[in-house]
Amino acid sequence: MRPIFPALLVLLAPTLARAAPVTPPVASPPLGRDAPTLYAEWCASCHGEHLDGGKGPRLTDAARWHAFDDATLARVIRDGSRTGEMPAFGGALNAAEIEALVVFLRESAARRREAVPQDNQPLPTGPLRSEEHAFTVEWVAEGFDVPWSMAFLPDGRMLVTERGGRLRIVENGMLRPETIGGLPPVVVKDEAGLLSVAVDPDYARNGWIYLAYCDPGARPETAMTKIVRARLRDGELVDREAIFSIPRDQYPKGYALFGCRLVFDGDYLFFGIGVRGSEAAVTRDAQDLAKTTGKIHRVFRDGRVPPDNPFVHAPGAAGSIWALGVRNPQGLARNPRDGALWESEHGPRGGDELNRIERGQNYGWPFVTRGINYDGTPISDKTDAPGLVSPAVNWTPSIAPSELEFYTGDRFPRWKGNLFMGTLATQKLLRFVIDGGRVVHTEEIFHHLGRVRDIKTGPDGYLYVALELIGRPGRIVRLKPAE
């Protein structure tokens, strides 16, 4: 076995302002049997093979379902029902297996409820209503190979990354046919490709454009998130500088879980790096301060490590680490009101999260999670633990969250300061009202217009949304008030 992660030693080190008394459940897999098998073996006889009910009630009934939170469901399974008609399974199943069954039940119920979603719906022709504003969805540009990220230049032009490896420009509402040259070599495979683009807050003075992408490693089939900045001159990127990278011979294998969004805060640049795989060994790197994966990072805009970062004095730690224990950060945004950093991440199966990221804190992956492994087996028997920060919002089953954006425009006055989040699997645009560091209200703005990859407040005050369409080129739309 590996030593109990260096991260723990560091968490307990006196250099930390807040010493976190972490006693993680050290997972010695397998924690239990997989949920679909358990269901078939122990539950299907009464609740039906497809959860449609029999001797016991139907378990896909939306009206009933909402009455139960996860803890109550787990208790019903463990202790049985008060009437005694539902037997107690606390003897036959361990805590982790019961947690896994809860995830399985939620997933199955949601799948039934949503039937088969209608992906790639045509844009609505008339106005849509929402709680605060009526709006139209207006076509801006089309023909992108997975439009992953958008950024506006001060002259109103929009830069768009295509995950397929190209950087494009939308000018006066037109996608320019030529692509920007001078990009570094990008690995394009599975989730790997050209990811985020961001424009320096002082662009008018310094001309810097930042890119996050998947860089090929020294060994075969390895890759890693890398961040560079460069200047745009005559359609080419020039003066390229590395802002974040690790040695090429240390790149992990595979093409999944890279992160990576870019957020500026004064002189600082924040970004998140995913755990780079689902196997237990790499996923645990999220707790290892010597590894940059599974972390939120903070550097100066030129890539230097700020001397007051939380782990700069921890032996062997990567100094750029700002927070740890995240799985695959797909969204990152700074609340302009209070400066708080918010992150969205993909869980495994279930356990997608929205987190409020604080300096030096541990977000728990993979010690605590509300998700299960893709094969249905449990990951952890804990959903909370002392010293580990719980998510502000958890989604089980998975919705696959993507980018976050605090709306800062004037066109939708009652949305100002709200947090917007896109989702991939459920193709939704969500709006959150944040108060006192918590999500106090959630609204679905639209669904099934495509996989929502990015959201940005435009210089014109409209809300821009990048949509990946399944099986055909993606598009960018903007929301305009219909009042």
Q: Give residues in contact with ligand HEC (CB under 6 A).
A: 42-43, 45-47, 55-57, 59, 64, 73, 76-77, 81, 83, 85-87, 89, 101
Closest CB to ligand HEC among residues 83, 172: 83
Paired tokens of 341? 């950093």
Shortest distance in whole angstroms from residue 80 CB to ligand HEC: 8
Shortest distance in whole angstroms from residue 43 CB to ligand HEC: 3
- Inter-CA distances, 311 with 20, 116, 292, Å: 14, 47, 12
Shortest distance in whole angstroms from residue 69 CB to ligand HEC: 11
Paired tokens of 167? 């950087």
**Spatial contact of 257 and 399, defined as CB atoms under 8 Å apart:** no
Shortest distance in whole angstroms from residue 66 CB to ligand HEC: 11
Closest CB to ligand HEC among residues 89, 255: 89
Measured over the CA atoms of residue 301, residue 304, residue 310 and residue 311, the dihedral's sign is: positive
Closest CB to ligand HEC among residues 57, 207: 57
Paired tokens of 448? 């099934």
Shortest distance in whole angstroms from residue 189 CB to ligand HEC: 39
Shortest distance in whole angstroms from residue 85 CB to ligand HEC: 4
Closest CB to ligand HEC among residues 35, 228: 35
Closest CB to ligand HEC among residues 47, 382: 47
Shortest distance in whole angstroms from residue 371 CB to ligand HEC: 18
**Spatial contact of 241 and 302, defined as CB atoms under 8 Å apart:** yes
The crossing angle, in degrees rounded to 10, of helices 70-79 and 95-113 is: 120
Measured CA to CA, the distance from residue 332 to residue 271 in angstroms comes to 7
Shortest distance in whole angstroms from residue 282 CB to ligand HEC: 32
Closest CB to ligand HEC among residues 42, 300: 42
Paired tokens of 135? 């709006």
Closest CB to ligand HEC among residues 15, 45: 45
Shortest distance in whole angstroms from residue 57 CB to ligand HEC: 4
Closest CB to ligand HEC among residues 87, 409: 87
Is the peptide bond preceding residue 154 cis, with omega within 30 degrees of 0?
no
Closest CB to ligand HEC among residues 86, 175: 86
Shortest distance in whole angstroms from residue 104 CB to ligand HEC: 8
Closest CB to ligand HEC among residues 43, 326: 43
Closest CB to ligand HEC among residues 83, 118: 83
Shortest distance in whole angstroms from residue 424 CB to ligand HEC: 28
